[in-house]
């Protein structure tokens, strides 16, 4: 049993979730900071939910380390948002990168691997760097919502993450897309301009497409594939 798992046993997880299931995101963040900081970190893909959490962390504890998994395939608009958030909140998101550049990686695979095997591409350019980024931490904060996918609907506000062996805190789990954008507008939180151009969910540019009205907000992710998750938040343990 790891240090983090020992710190938050199953009984306490149950009690904490009962306490926080209807709590506001700020309250959940305060609990996480009090319980785990400085061994607390946050991953963000610079989605609207992640921007909200950075906004809240600036008030609760701006010293929490926030990082982004920079695959090398991110939209320019996504990378520019990092600077906007730093200017607004004073929080500089650390860019965690794979061991190889895009050019080196594509040379190794005789071309873009996302065309032939997007699962392997996500694993090598996101999951492996994430594992490295989480070393030394007892808990990580994510920006997932339960209504985004079937896997995410099974998550808890606070739960043990067996894939990465630490406690996972999801402050926005019970929010809806409407809640998110109402907060963004009311608080003038910076966000990716691609959201105004038909991209409700944004990942790497080769595997992200705009959607039409009425489509699921994640329909543009790996469009045309059965895949709906890169592996960070899926329940599949095949890549443990």
Q: Which of 207, 210, 218, 227 is nearest to 74 (CA)?
A: 207
Omega before residue 38 within 30° of 0, cis: yes
DSSP 22: T
CA distance 153 to 179: 17
Place of tokens 């594509």: 106
Q: What's the CA gap between 23 and 8, in Å, rounded?
A: 19
> Which among 235, 233, 220 has a CA at the least distance from the CA of 126?
233
Active-site annotation holds for 204? no
Indicate which residue of 51, 121, 122, 230 is catalytic: 230
Active site residues: 230
């Amino acid at each position: 049993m790891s240090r983090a798992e020992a710190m938050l046993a199953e009984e306490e997880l149950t009690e904490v979730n009962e306490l926080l299931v209807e709590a506001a995101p700020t309250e959940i963040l305060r609990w996480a900071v009090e319980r785990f900081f400085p061994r607390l970190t946050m991953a963000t893909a610079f989605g609207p939910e992640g921007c909200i959490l950075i906004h809240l962390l600036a008030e609760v504890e701006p010293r929490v380390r926030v990082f982004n998994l920079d695959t090398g395939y991110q939209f320019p608009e996504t990378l520019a948002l990092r600077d906007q958030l730093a200017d607004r909140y004073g929080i500089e998101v650390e860019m965690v990168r794979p061991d190889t550049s895009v050019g080196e990686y594509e040379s190794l695979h005789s071309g873009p691997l996302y065309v032939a095997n997007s699962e392997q591409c996500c694993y090598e350019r996101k999951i492996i760097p994430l594992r490295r980024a989480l070393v030394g931490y007892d808990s990580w904060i994510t920006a997932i919502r339960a209504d985004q996918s079937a896997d995410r609907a099974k998550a808890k506000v606070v739960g043990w993450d067996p894939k990465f062996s630490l406690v996972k805190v999801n402050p926005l789990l019970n929010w809806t897309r409407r809640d998110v954008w109402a907060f963004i507008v009311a608080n003038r939180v910076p966000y990716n301009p691609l959201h105004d151009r038909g991209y409700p969910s944004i990942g790497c540019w080769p595997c992200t497409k705009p959607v039409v009205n009425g489509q699921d907000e994640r329909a543009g992710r790996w469009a045309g594939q059965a895949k709906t998750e890169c592996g960070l938040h899926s329940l599949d343990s095949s890549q443990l």
